[in-house]
């Protein structure tokens, strides 16, 4: 008699026994996710059954036409919204089993967000903007400042720390937003059209930052309309009408850096 195969036979997970080193476990798993906004006649099905695994240290670009469901997908992965149907797991934890408080802790510890509109707080300096997520995490002031400065250094803004957003260029503001996303040392960085408001040079500089973050072990998911931005990623997922229509691996996910903890690499 043949044993019934698990649904995801190719990747045994969650692990119940020690796994060979070569197996990479998904940090994110969406299983048949449907998202419907509104009800009745006004209902919009933004996602129509999306299944997606993302392994640690991968670098994924999500592409697709306007309205295809990219931001909806990103908002679910970022725990900002919940599926109408199907399952969404982070690190093997079914997020539907978490309450608001637990989701907020997960977001703060694990996820860093970068949006197209930089969402910086005006009249607050760059370094104060970057410190904000640490204040929510309950860190002391000196430690917050130290980490925020390190994050701004990493994005090349050590000389503009005390400037306010309106005194910075678009590219610089976006790099402040990236510093704010990575100051809590999240393992997963989510970016929804991070280069959407940037010129070519600023896009290039920003993508350099993402490349370095991935090399240092961060998992990155970004939405983009631009092929040259997607070319930085190691995997390109195309979405159309709420479905994944292609999923192309361009390079292997970054290998685990030997003997270096994530916090040893970045602030
Ligand atoms: N809060 C909402 N209420 C109702 N419909 C929504 C809501 N958010 C998104 N939609 C609809 O869901 C579909 C997918 O939207 P989504 O924002 O995910 O698209 P997108 O791929 O990110 O598009 P863009 O490239 O323009 O940002 C669209 O038809 C959109 O109108
Ligand atoms: Mg969008």
pLDDT for 22 equals 53
Tokens of 129: 């903007």
State the distance from the centre of ligand 1 to the C-alpha of 72, rounded, in angstroms. 6
| Contact call for residues 14 and 92 (beta carbons, < 8 A) | yes
Residue 37 Cβ < 6 Å to ligand 1: yes
Residue 173 Cβ < 6 Å to ligand 1: no
Question: Residue 63: beta bridge partners?
Answer: 238
Residue 69 Cβ < 6 Å to ligand 1: yes
Tokens of 197: 């408001």
State the distance from the centre of ligand 1 to the C-alpha of 71, rounded, in angstroms. 7
Q: What do you get for the CA distance between the two ends of the chain, in Å?
A: 54
CA pair distance 261, 267, nearest whole angstrom:
11
Consecutive 10-residue averages of pLDDT for the chain (267 residues): 45 43 78 96 96 96 97 95 96 93 89 89 96 87 96 93 96 94 92 90 91 93 95 97 97 73 46
CA pair distance 30, 89, nearest whole angstrom:
6
> Which protein residue has the closest C-alpha to ligand 1 atom 17?
71
Tokens of 266: 């970045």
For residue 96, the 8-state DSSP code is G
State the distance from the centre of ligand 2 to the C-alpha of 68, rounded, in angstroms. 8
State the distance from the centre of ligand 1 to the C-alpha of 186, rounded, in angstroms. 26
Bond before 14 cis per omega within 30 degrees: yes
- CA-to-CA separations, 46 to 64, 134, 141, 156, in angstroms, rounded: 13, 33, 42, 37
| Contact call for residues 203 and 222 (beta carbons, < 8 A) | no
Tokens of 157: 């803004």
The atom number, within ligand 1, closest to the CA of 68 reads 21
| Contact call for residues 23 and 196 (beta carbons, < 8 A) | no
CA pair distance 168, 166, nearest whole angstrom:
5
CA pair distance 104, 57, nearest whole angstrom:
23
Residues 185-218: b if buried by 16+ CB within 10 A, e if exposed? bbbbbbbbbbbbbbeeebbebbbebbeebbebbb
Residue 72 Cβ < 6 Å to ligand 1: yes
State the distance from the centre of ligand 2 to the C-alpha of 32, rounded, in angstroms. 20
The atom number, within ligand 1, closest to the CA of 64 reads 21
The atom number, within ligand 1, closest to the CA of 38 reads 4
Residue 136 Cβ < 6 Å to ligand 1: no
All residues at 6 or more sequence positions from 64 whose CB lies less than 8 Å from its CB, including other chains: 70, 238, 239, 240
- Would you list the domain boundaries of the chain? 57-74+99-252
> Which protein residue has the closest C-alpha to ligand 1 atom 26?
66
CATH 3.30.70.890 fits 57-74+99-252, yes or no: no
CA pair distance 130, 107, nearest whole angstrom:
16
Residue 64 Cβ < 6 Å to ligand 1: yes
**Residue reference for tokens 């983009």:** 224
> Which protein residue has the closest C-alpha to ligand 1 atom 6?
37
Residue 15 Cβ < 6 Å to ligand 1: no
> Which protein residue has the closest C-alpha to ligand 1 atom 19?
67
Residue 242 Cβ < 6 Å to ligand 1: no
Tokens of 73: 């997908």
Beta strand 44-55 with 243-249: parallel, antiparallel or unpaired?
unpaired
pLDDT for 124 equals 96
């Amino acid at each position: 008699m043949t044993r019934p195969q698990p649904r995801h036979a190719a990747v045994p997970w969650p692990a119940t026994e020690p796994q060979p080193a070569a197996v990479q476990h998904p940090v994110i798993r969406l299983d048949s996710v449907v998202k419907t906004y509104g009800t009745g006649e006004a209902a919009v099905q933004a996602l129509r059954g999306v299944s997606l695994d993302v392994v640690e240290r991968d670098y994924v670009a999500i592409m697709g036409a306007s309205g295809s469901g990219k931001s909806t997908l990103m908002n679910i992965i970022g725990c900002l919204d919940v599926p109408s149907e199907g399952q969404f797991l982070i690190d093997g934890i079914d997020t539907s089993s978490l309450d608001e408080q637990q989701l907020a802790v997960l977001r703060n510890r694990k996820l860093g967000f970068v949006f197209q509109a930089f969402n910086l707080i005006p009249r607050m300096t760059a370094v104060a903007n970057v410190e904000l997520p640490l204040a929510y995490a309950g860190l002391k002031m000196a430690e917050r400042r130290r980490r925020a400065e390190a994050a701004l250094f990493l994005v090349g803004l050590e000389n503009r720390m005390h400037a306010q957003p309106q005194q910075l260029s678009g590219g610089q503001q976006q790099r402040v937003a990236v510093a704010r996303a990575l100051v809590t040392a999240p393992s997963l960085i989510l970016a929804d059209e991070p280069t959407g408001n940037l010129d070519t040079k600023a896009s290039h500089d920003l993508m350099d930052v993402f490349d370095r973050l991935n090399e240092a072990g961060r998992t990155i998911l970004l939405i983009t309309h631009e092929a040259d931005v997607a070319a930085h990623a190691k995997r390109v997922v195309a979405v159309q009408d709420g479905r994944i229509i292609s999923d192309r691996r361009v390079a292997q996910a970054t290998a685990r850096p030997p003997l270096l903890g994530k916090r040893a690499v970045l602030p």
